[in-house]
A and B are shown apart, each in its own frame.
Chain A
Amino acid sequence: MARTRIAALVTAAALAVGLTGCGAADMTRQASPYADAKGSRTVTLSTQSWVGAQANVAVAQYLLEHELGYRVDTVQIDEVPAWDALSQGRVDAILEDWGHPEQEKRYIDDKGTIARGGDLGVTGHIGWYVPTYFAEQHPDVTDWRNLNKYADEFRTAESGGKGQLLDGSPSYVTNDKALVNSLDLDYQVVFAGSEAAQITQIKQFAKEKKPFLSYWYKPQWLFEKVPMTEVKLPAYKEGCDADPEKVACAYPHTPLQKFLNARFADGGGDAAAFLKKFRWTTEDQNEVALMIAEQKLSPQEAAGRWVKENETTWRAWLPA
């Protein structure tokens, strides 16, 4: 069996080389080997690791499959590599992007391999948060000027003698190290290394009603489980985060964007038209995200429930 399989593989490989001949083989035009197994039309969506993004993808996938008759593949990729994959056509669309000016310039303006897909309808915001139970006891903690006063309360074994500012996945946009420096805070940024680790840690803190200070973002389903209050940082002004080493202001409010592979945007038919029109609200997204993350429904089940209850919303997205 093993031998025949190897022989078959070698033949297949030889055939592949033979078929493509000595011509050029453009890697950017290759599909996934798992895609399109029955000759149906396939769309590949990038799903990022956070649950809000999974909710977008789940609902888009559900509607593409049940209403428009597509087959949908999802690939989990980090934010920046996802741009690269989108440009190469490995994925057809990113449904939630938090702003990557460098990549936008390279792939949209210079190479023209990615096209804009419009607003998602959700506004994202990054900030520093303390648990509400702590903020209620110490109302002045929500101003950054008072943070040093509480550094002791936020201390952990990892943060040395300083207070701990918990950061998450390395793929997320963060200026926290620079912020701590420029604002002269007595804090140490501790990188959890992944969102999963960060959420687990926050939940453990919350279970014991311990104080913590964490980098976090909205919309996020965890707020429903662990109520958190934002700490006010110096107000955001256009361009105040231009030099990443010296940022001393809060994070902006970002209208989240959709992006499509340029070829797909032109020739993607109903699917591309649908994804361009896809637009919902923060509450909608949270509803689905919470079903996935807290009730542990599979993304498809969660999407199915939402679709059943919100027909007026998604009818408008379908191409006429």
Chain B
Amino acid sequence: MTATVTPATPSSSTTTAAGSGVLRDLGRHRGRLIGAGAAVALVLGAVLLGGGSWPAALAVDLSGPLDRTSDWIIDNRDGHPLFLYFLGHVSNAVVVSVRAVYLVLLALGWAGVTAAAGLVAWRVAGVRLALTSVAAFAVCGVLGMWVPTMQTLALMAVAVAASVLVGGLLGLAAGLSDRMHRILRPVLDTMQVLPAFAYLLPVVLVFGIGVPAAVLATVVYAAPPMARLTALGLRGADAGVMEAAASLGATGRQRLLTARLPLARKELLLGVNQAIMMALGMAVIASVIGAGGLGDRVYQALGSVDVGAALAAGVPIVLLAVVLDRVTAAAGARIGAAPARRAGAGWAVALATTVVVAVAGRLSDRLAWPHSWTVDIAGPVNGAVDWMTAHLYSGVPLVGGTADWAARFTTWVLNPLRDGLQWLPWWMVLLAVGALALLIGTWRTAATAVLATAAIGVLGVWDPALDTLSQVLAAVAVTLLLGLALGVGAARSSRMGRALRPVLDVFQTMPQFVYLIPVVALFGVGRAPAVAAAVVYALPAVVRITAQGLSAVDPAALESARSLGATGRQQLFQVQLPLARPALLLAVNQGVVLVLAVVVIGGLVGGGALGYDAVFGLAQGDLATGLVAGAAIVCLGLMLDRVTQPTERRGLAGKGA
């Protein structure tokens, strides 16, 4: 019974969201049909299948074959031709490329790298961003993180280049061939919801701990958005232009190079931007499998429960992300503008200055960041965290401490939700998933959702998966509550919007490992801190999408409401929110996917369930536990994504109508 409470928001809204006229009738009709079908199935199920958790007879135990696979890989890794003649070379190429970039960065010295970053930003995006970049790199040095920053930068450069290459080629194939598009789309869709932790284990088993495994895991994570956006750009090419090119007698190759690709420049650049952001998001997670660099510093600082040191290594990651994001976004915005005259001269100046600075640095023997220029922020930060946790943990007058809230949240929300879900007969869960997906999406999304849920049962992790699901639902509910409130605030007051933006930026790019300790210090060990970490991670996206959706509402509609004498409250609830419904649904979808991505992090703070199994598998090199948990998380992600994905049907229904 608890299962239907939270997802009720999307289901009740879509029936009206379906649009006007025929569509709306269809929507209502559908709703009623699905309801009737579900009722019949409910009765049938109760009579034929009874209650209880997923039946053991329908589960498959994969531990035998998985253990054998794992043993085979370990025994043959240094002898089998597959490893010697293919994977070995892949691994080698990665090592050599990362090393090449790393040596170049070291040779440039800190002055050269900072100058190069500033000058590139100046050429691409103007003086303001140039200053920001220089400041960002300087801060990395001041924090005493210069060498780790360069290691991370070298790894990122190779990983992003490989992601752009692989993603671009896949996107090219999907953009030019309809069949490839049909094959690739579900794969890319799945990868989009794949939590990064889930595939660290197989990669590490094949390539071993180290940089190659880290780079490949990063590529798997960062290539899909590039592929998706490339395909989107190529498919969106103006038919008129293409026709014109064809009538001018251009060959297929010429049309691609001179018309299609240039027309898709914006999407391509956005793809690169996305690939960079995803790769940086992976920087810390990949440190678990030996990526080194900044991520490793964060990870090691956690071992001694040193939030300050973790933050000192986390800040450079945030800064790199902000700078790279702004610079590539600025490059994207300039596309289409007439190229400035003497652009070549500008680049030449930039190059010359970089060389001069680098040589000067080399001659004055100042390649490494001077030790006396570093500032230790760990002490003050730890002091602040200690104060906060000491004063907020318990015994706060009136409201009680955070530990009391966490205990209450666990007892009154998480426990009933989990027990309720686990009490539900297994077929009723499938039915609920199917009905919800049908209400919002199409037959196809419903089928995917139900199959994904059933796969979890077959994998034999039904109960832990429902435990995880209950945490996800609770976290999504909290995220939406806070996110909508903040988003509405940001949309209605531009001052609040401006104040929120940097905060959101920081929380979106801050490695999740950094707030692992504060979260435990505030909420204790258990599922409550896992939920808190998920909320912190997913909130920025939800706030942002909500605020954007609300601000994009047609000003004419608002004006007319105002002229009719609507109060601010009425405007919000009766005009803005209904009109922004697509954006709100997107916010729900994004919230769900992002929350799930932190489930594994939750395993590190006592969230248990699938997240703990995934961490356990990785820590013990236990493929049977880790891979099964990973696969179950993916299935859970697929199911949640399909259940909350409203766009599909409208696209299809629109075509049909």
Contact = CB atoms under 8 A, between A and B. Distances in A.
Contacts of A25: 84-85, 88-89, 91-92
A200 B310 CA distance: 15
B526 A157 contact: yes
26 contacts: A2-B272, A9-B161, A22-B85, A25-B89, A27-B91, A27-B208, A33-B95, A33-B154, A76-B296, A80-B620, A80-B622, A84-B209, A84-B621, A90-B210, A157-B408, A158-B527, A169-B619, A170-B615, A171-B620, A191-B608, A194-B615, A200-B517, A200-B520, A203-B521, A204-B524, A293-B305
Contacts of B7: none
Nearest to A19: B96
Contact of A192 (B91, B95, B272, B525): B525
A207 interface: yes
Nearest to A86: B209
A181 to B, nearest CB: 18
Contacts of B607: 193
Interface in A209-233: none
Interface string B579-620: 000000000000000000000001111111001100110111
B300 to A, nearest CB: 5
Interface in B203-221: 204, 207-212
Nearest to B287: A76
Contacts of B75: 111
Contacts of A157: 406-408, 410-411, 415, 524, 526, 528
Interface of A: 1-2, 5-6, 8-10, 12-13, 15-17, 20, 22, 24-28, 30-34, 37, 47-51, 54, 75-82, 84-85, 88, 90-91, 106, 111, 156-158, 160, 166, 169-171, 190-201, 203-204, 207-208, 292-293, 296
B410 A192 contact: no
Contact of A47 (B88, B300, B517): B300
B616 A156 contact: no
The 5 closest A-B pairs by CB, nearest first: A25-B88, A171-B619, A33-B99, A170-B616, A16-B96
Nearest to B301: A196
Interface in B340-362: none
Interface of B: 74-75, 77-78, 83-85, 87-89, 91-93, 95-103, 106, 116, 120, 151, 154, 157-158, 161, 164-165, 204, 207-212, 272, 287, 289-290, 292-293, 296, 299-300, 302-306, 308-309, 378-379, 382, 389-390, 393-394, 403, 406-408, 410-411, 415, 516-517, 520-521, 524-529, 602-608, 611-612, 615-616, 618-622
A40 to B, nearest CB: 14
Given A1-B116, A9-B157, A157-B408, 4 more contacts: A17-B89, A78-B618, A80-B621, A296-B379
Contacts of B406: 157
Nearest to A195: B303
A191 B390 CA distance: 23
A100 B608 CA distance: 25
A93 to B, nearest CB: 14
B619 A28 contact: no
Contacts of A26: 78, 84, 88
A208 B296 contact: no
B73 to A, nearest CB: 10
A249 to B, nearest CB: 22
Most buried by A among B83, B106, B296, B605: B605
A207 B309 CA distance: 23
A207 B390 contact: yes
Contacts of B415: 157, 160
A81 B204 contact: yes
Contacts of A17: 89, 92-93
Contact of B164 (A6, A156, A200): A6
B290 A194 contact: no
Given A9-B97, A81-B204, A193-B612, A24 B88 contact: yes
Given A81-B204, A90-B290, A193-B604, A30 B74 contact: no
Contacts of A91: 209
A79 B97 contact: no
B594 to A, nearest CB: 20
Most buried by B among A22, A79, A191, A207: A191
A200 to B, nearest CB: 4
B402 to A, nearest CB: 10
Nearest to B215: A33
B303 A54 contact: yes
Given A75-B296, A199-B305, A204-B524, A193 B603 contact: yes
Contacts of B120: 1
Contacts of B604: 193-194, 196-197
A32 B389 CA distance: 39
Most buried by A among B84, B303, B620: B303
A170 B604 CA distance: 9
A30 B603 CA distance: 32
Contacts of A24: 84-85, 88
Contacts of A28: 77-78, 208
Given A12-B100, A85-B290, A197 B525 contact: yes
Contact of A196 (B74, B208, B290, B516): B516
Given A15-B96, A34-B292, A197-B516, A81 B209 contact: yes
A203 B309 CA distance: 19
A185 B524 CA distance: 23
Nearest to A89: B208
A25 B103 CA distance: 23
Contacts of A207: 390, 393
Nearest to B379: A296
